[in-house]
Amino acid sequence: LIAIPFLAGGVFYVTRRLTALRRAQREKLQIKEREAAAIVSEQRNENWERVQKYLASGNPAEWKLAIIEADTMLDEMVKKMNYPGENLGERLKAIEPSDFTTLDAAWEAPKVRNQIAHQGDFVLTRREADRVIGLFKKVFEEFKYI
């Protein structure tokens, strides 16, 4: 009977220590996550800056590179969201429209990229390049990827 208060005190002490340890671990994990997110964000921004640089060029070949680079970014983003599939098209098919409000834009933009890649004589106008990069931008902004 005398031991009950000591046992209760011991349980209380252990519970407090475990809570403090869990809080410390959670804080360390959050710091690491923020650092990793900053690195990933910096890489994404570098990729998007490269897209913008290509698009700003007066050279249609660089406009095509901008679209190809943006398409690669979209594929990376969808992969990181853990959608299944061997390629971007399969991953986009796996997405529920309710989860992805810019899904139509995500489908349309890569179609132009495929025309660039598979039609050697594909002519890309400045207006079309701006429109397609705008589609990619809408998708990336929805998920705060840029």
pLDDT in tens, the chain (146 residues): 788 888 888 999 999 999 999 998 888 877 766 766 665 656 667 899 999 999 999 999 999 999 999 999 999 999 988 899 999 999 999 998 888 899 999 999 989 999 998 988 899 999 999 999 999 999 999 888 88
Tokens describing residue 86: 């061997």
Name every residue whose Cβ is closer than 8 Å to that of residue 109 and which is 6 or more positions away in sequence.
67, 70, 71, 74, 132, 135, 136, 139
**Whole-number CA gyration radius for the chain:** 24
CB 135 within 8 A of CB 108: yes
CA 75 from chain center: how many Å? Answer: 9
What pLDDT, on a 0 to 100 scale, did the predictor assign at position 58?
92
117-123 long-range contacts (CB < 8 A, ≥24 apart) are 117/68, 122/64, 123/60
Alpha-carbon distances, residue 3 vs 14, 15, 17, 100 (angstroms):
16, 18, 21, 60
CB 36 within 8 A of CB 80: no
d(CA 127, CA 114): 18
